[in-house]
Structure 1
Amino acid sequence: MKFDLSGKKAVVTGASHGIGLAVVQALASVGAEVIGGARSASEALLTATPHAVEVDLATPDGPRTLVERALAEFGGIDILVNNVGNGVKLAQGFLDTDDDVWQRTFELNLFSAVRATRAALPSIIERKGSIINIGSVNSRIADPRLVHYSAAKAALTNLSKALSAEFSPLGVRVNTITPGPTRTRIWTKPEITTKLGLSEEEFIERNGLSTGTMIEPTEIAALVVLLTSGEVPSVTGSDYLIDAGMVKTL
């Protein structure tokens, strides 16, 4: 199956590295014009698209600024990919997770998507476009060390469902993609496995990745292309798990 998104205008948040960068590259490779937002524009992002905006998406005005820039440059938005996120700060447990950690985690992982979606929706409704929220397998896993991050990502999944229920009758498709451990800077930096006292192989085994390897960012990007292509117009309100077999329950 070949995809052609020529003429489509896309906004991707958290676009400098990892999943966001792979999404920008994948959408651009099938003809879409893409504006990527991040706190700093990496060389790879500037190579992937001439439309890069340096913006702090964890601030109240950041997402709106990015969307307004896209509307000014493109004249409209067909695709919004809310990818920005982080806050994977391991704690000893709930009592070691203070208000600042909770606030920062929700600003980046939930409110950035709320604000970007609010700003982009009028244009996306007009053009009958698509919204993809990039979640996390942690939304389905109760881990006291990541209670703040898991809660924010679970809320993001619920947001997708609510948006789909309200706006799919107007022609807007809203879906979530939920990756497991992905080969990005978060999971490959030595501090993670060192803090856990594990090698990468032990980390994969401990987390039950059935494939025996981490997910590649290009896998998430490929699904973004499919879901935004219009080839599967009946898919909305869905949550696509890409977890290398990590979640074993239905």
Structure 2
Amino acid sequence: MNTEKSMYEKELAGKRVLVTGGTGGGIGEAVVKRLAAAGAKVATTARRMPEEPGAADLFIPADISTPEGTTRLVDGILEHFGGIDILVNNVGGSSAPTGGVLAQSDEDWQFAFETNLFAAVRLDRGLLPAMLQQGSGVIVHITSIQRRLPGENTMAYSAAKAALANYSKGLATELAPKGIRVNTVAPGFTETKAAERLIHRMAERLGSDYDGARQNLMDSLGGIPIGRTARPEEVAELVAFLVSDRASYIIGAEHTIDGGIIRSV
């Protein structure tokens, strides 16, 4: 195992990387740590400066659900890095109220698409010219299994992630002849810090303990065949593979990492 780890320890040495949403104990933070451990020079962003510096070499505070925030981030990356070799668009999420479709306003839908689709589109558009100039690059968009399993209160989020997957496929086809690879990663139920907070809230509401509330959530997905939730580090490992030269022939593919939740072919 140590030998295998050392093989890939510095495989991203010299690579300039941007991971969006790389703080807060989620998938993005795990990706930042994993790619930094592989020798990459990593930048990340979030709305607020984190309390701890983390593994990133550069942090640029920006709300990339807005055009202004995306511009700020792109300008900062070009100023400090001169461009990037790897872009991992991880920012996303849902803040829609409960109560089904009639409880969701235009603003809820707009926010879902600004955060989960347009942030990636604008960031790609801002950083692609430098990638095209150098004739190489890798882009990974983090989608979600919810694009195929929309929930009652996450329809806007699910629709936005479905749009992101569709956009990514078209982008991959356009950019492959120009030396740039695009793929997507669709995580299932991943036990991030945000998910832990959600489970605690559910436990309080249900009068249950943490394990019981977690199981309730797993059951709501139809169960997870492997019997547990994903760890952010497991998703990060998949991303690390996809951005490396080991995945040089993988283009335009969505990689589901969900413990077996999606049962359709």
- Structure 2 length-normalised TM: 0.89
Q: CA deviation at 1:15?
A: 1.0
Q: Corresponding residue for 1:69?
A: 76
Q: Distance in 2 between matches of 1:195 and 1:134?
A: 30
Q: Corresponding residue for 1:205?
A: 219
Q: CA deviation at 1:205?
A: 3.1
Q: Distance in 2 between matches of 1:122 and 1:235?
A: 22
Counterpart of 1:99 (choices 106, 110, 114) is 106
Q: CA deviation at 1:123?
A: 1.5
**Relative to structure 1, is the Cα distance of residues 193 and 115 closer, same or farther in structure 2, using a 3 angstrom cutoff?**
farther
Q: Distance in 1 between matches of 2:205 and 2:264?
A: 28
Q: Distance in 2 between matches of 1:196 and 1:42?
A: 32
Residues 29-76 of structure 1: per-residue CA shift (max 9 Å, x gap): 0010011010113234x1212301111111112122212211211122
Contact 1:11 1:67 in 2 (8 A): no
Counterpart of 1:133 (choices 122, 132, 141) is 141
- Structure 1 length-normalised TM: 0.94
TM alignment of 1:6-25, pairs within 5 A:
6-17=13-24, 18-25=26-33
Unmatched tracts of structure 1, length 5 or more: none
**2:133 aligned counterpart, secondary structure:** helix
2:229 corresponds to 1:214? yes
Counterpart of 1:231 (choices 228, 242, 246) is 246
* Aligned positions, number: 249
Q: Which amino acid aligns with 2:132?
A: I
Q: Distance in 2 between matches of 1:191 and 1:202?
A: 12
Contact 2:96 2:104 in 1 (8 A): no
Q: Corresponding residue for 1:47?
A: 54
**2:154 aligned counterpart, secondary structure:** helix
Q: Distance in 1 between matches of 2:235 and 2:74?
A: 22
Counterpart of 1:83 (choices 90, 103, 127) is 90
Residues 207-244 of structure 1: per-residue CA shift (max 9 Å, x gap): 21111111111111111111111112110100000011
**Relative to structure 1, is the Cα distance of residues 149 and 195 closer, same or farther in structure 2, using a 3 angstrom cutoff?**
farther
Q: Distance in 1 between matches of 2:15 and 2:59?
A: 17
Q: Which amino acid aligns with 1:191?
A: R
Q: Which amino acid aligns with 2:201?
A: E
**2:19 aligned counterpart, secondary structure:** strand
Q: CA deviation at 1:185?
A: 2.9
**1:231 aligned counterpart, secondary structure:** helix
**Relative to structure 1, is the Cα distance of residues 193 and 162 closer, same or farther in structure 2, using a 3 angstrom cutoff?**
farther
**Relative to structure 1, is the Cα distance of residues 71 and 124 closer, same or farther in structure 2, using a 3 angstrom cutoff?**
same
Contact 2:41 2:57 in 1 (8 A): no
Q: Which amino acid aligns with 2:252?
A: G
**Relative to structure 1, is the Cα distance of residues 21 and 195 closer, same or farther in structure 2, using a 3 angstrom cutoff?**
same
Q: Corresponding residue for 2:41?
A: 33
TM alignment of 1:90-169, pairs within 5 A:
90-127=97-134, 128-169=136-177
Q: Corresponding residue for 1:191?
A: 201
Q: Distance in 2 between matches of 1:12 and 1:133?
A: 10
Unmatched tracts of structure 2, length 5 or more: none
Q: Which amino acid aligns with 1:142?
A: P
Contact 2:84 2:127 in 1 (8 A): yes
Contact 1:38 1:55 in 2 (8 A): yes
